[in-house]
Amino acid sequence: MAKVTAGYRCGECGWATPVWVGRCKECQAWGSVAETSATASGTRATAPRASALRISQVGADEARGLPTGIGELDRVLGEGLVPGAVVLLAGEPGVGKSTLLLEVAAAWARRGRRTLYVSAEESAAQVRRRADRTDAVTDDLFLAAESDLATVLGHIEELSPTLLVLDSVQTVSVDGTDGVPGGVTQVREVTNALVRVAKRRNMAVLIIGHVTKEGAIAGPRTLEHLVDVVLSFEGDRQSGFRMVRASKNRFGPADEVGCFEMTERGIAQVLDPSGLFTSTQGEPASGVAVTVTLEGRRPLLAEVQALVTPSAAPSPRRVTHGIEGSRVAMALAVLQRRARVKTHHRDVYVSTVGGVRLADPGADLAVAIAVASAAADWRPASRFAALGEVGLSGELRRVPGTARRLAEAERLGVKVALVPKGSGASSTRGLRVIEVGTLAEALDTVWLELTDHARAVSDRRAWQEKGAAT
């Protein structure tokens, strides 16, 4: 008789311990360690069902994706949905996950592919009303409102769909399994079952997942390891702009981004999103700088706006929107120490246009120029773009994808671009490229060469004195 051994295992990362602890020592999760029992026995070799093949003999056509009918999603997935692939889409409540996947299911069904949409959170009538609003009603799209995994598997056996959409994995339960729906054990069992049926039937599966308050995917960490593709659906509720970002993709690049816009008629693709993140004003204004950020491999033109005003409070305000406050604070410190632009006694407001979030270090130079321009209250004579990461010593560091960034800036009508030295970029017929080595040199260049006051300035540091004046 096999010996039964007891122990404790973390449901998040799988860390094992012979005694119970309240906190996992591996992943530091609280309350994830539970008692398990295992049968200690040796594993004997068995004859394989099929012999191993040389890698050159394995066909790759089975892993080729099929277009979903939504180009921006196909861009993120690579070629489209691969039969047998399990895709997890996570996002905050109300961002539009259900609407997006309902439209994906409808587009897939319109191509003559049988599709099953299972909602465990809404009734069938509620999903139908949303389908009427988004024009997602088609004959090959089947709808079921179920929260029991066994019933969901029964629908799959009955309909034999080529695509299954499950909304959501945290609300489906498995009979005979410990825990409540959404718990670590339940989520893991549901996902394991869906992965098995997807591979066995060569059926693509799209799963909607919830996120925690910190923005991480709810459920065990192993959930992301079980699926083939992990997508995050991001967006500001105050803005209709949405992004689908891949953090894991076994069938394509994991650094692509798809752009969408939430409208009254549902989710619309945004094929050229750069225009959404720049203002439409004709003349350049003070406190404004343009940069080109990379979202995945896609360059996006983004505008940074700054406002510097006198402050009567002992602690001046630092307000940011769309940019991390720590990066703005670093830019202010470097401006004051390396470029003599003093803002310690002033309120500083920095924001982006269109609700875009700039996490790219390549936007540092644009942020610094916008603040310096606002502090000195000067405006450039022409529109320019600034690319570069600002170091603590005031040096400018090169950013990846400079050629793609500059090509996007030229396409959208930018005439001048500031880049760090050594970027290897050269001027073209429509874009003048200026290389600068430090932040102070970049500000001098902007003031002397890109403003209307260049001829009136005899000292190259006149702008610094104006910017540092109280």
340 or 35: whose pLDDT is higher? 340
Lowest model confidence (mean pLDDT) among 14-18, 67-71, 169-173: 14-18
What φ, ψ does residue 55 adopt, rounded to 5°? -60, -30
Q: What would be the CATH architecture of the domain defined by 276-468? A: 2-Layer Sandwich (3.30)
CB 381 within 8 A of CB 399: no
Cα atoms in the 13 Å half-sphere on the side-chain side of 233 = 28
Whether 387 shows a pLDDT value over 60: the answer reads yes
* Dihedral sign (CA 70, 76, 78, 81): negative
Whether 3 shows a pLDDT value over 50: the answer reads no
CB 164 within 8 A of CB 227: no
Task: Place 1 in a pLDDT band, splitting at 50, 70 and 90.
Answer: very low
CB 121 within 8 A of CB 93: no
* Average of per-residue pLDDT across 47-66: 84
- Cα–Cα dist 120/360, whole Å: 38
Lowest model confidence (mean pLDDT) among 51-60, 124-133, 167-176: 51-60
CB 252 within 8 A of CB 77: yes
Burial 400-436 (b: 16+ CB within 10 A, else e): ebbeebbebbbebebebbbbbeebebeeeeebbbbbb
Whether 393 shows a pLDDT value over 50: the answer reads yes
pLDDT score recorded for residue 442: 94
- Cα–Cα dist 157/149, whole Å: 12
Whether 316 shows a pLDDT value over 90: the answer reads yes
pLDDT score recorded for residue 35: 79
pLDDT score recorded for residue 6: 59
pLDDT score recorded for residue 459: 40
DSSP at 157: H
Which amino acid is residue 339, in one-letter code? A
CA angle, residues 431, 437, 440, in degrees to nearest 5: 100
What does pTM read for this prediction?
A: 0.78
* Average of per-residue pLDDT across 75-82: 91
* Average of per-residue pLDDT across 299-324: 93
What tokens does 278 get?
């720049």
pLDDT score recorded for residue 5: 52
* Average of per-residue pLDDT across 341-366: 92
Task: Place 232 in a pLDDT band, splitting at 50, 70 and 90.
Answer: very high
Which amino acid is residue 388, in one-letter code? G
Transcribe 421-439 into DSSP letters. Answer: TT------SS-EEEEESBH
Burial 312-321 (b: 16+ CB within 10 A, else e): eeeebeeebe
Whether 398 shows a pLDDT value over 70: the answer reads yes
pLDDT score recorded for residue 450: 66
Q: Which residue has the tokens 């008692």?
A: 35
Lowest model confidence (mean pLDDT) among 49-63, 159-173, 273-287, 381-395: 273-287
- Cα–Cα dist 69/469, whole Å: 58
pLDDT score recorded for residue 456: 37
For the domain made up of 66-271, give the CATH fold: Rossmann fold (3.40.50)
Closest among 52, 44, 293, 32 to 184, alpha carbons compared: 32
Burial class from Cβ neighbours inside 10 Å (0-12, 13-18, 19+) for residue 123 reads: exposed
What tokens does 157 get?
């056996």
| Structure confidence by residue, pLDDT tens digits, 239-259 | 788 989 999 999 988 888 899
Mean pLDDT over each residue of the chain, to the nearest integer: 87
Query: What percent of the chain is modeled with pLDDT above 90?
Result: 58
CA angle, residues 246, 250, 253, in degrees to nearest 5: 50
Burial class from Cβ neighbours inside 10 Å (0-12, 13-18, 19+) for residue 456 reads: exposed
pLDDT score recorded for residue 211: 87
pLDDT score recorded for residue 452: 52
- Cα–Cα dist 439/10, whole Å: 49
* Average of per-residue pLDDT across 156-177: 93
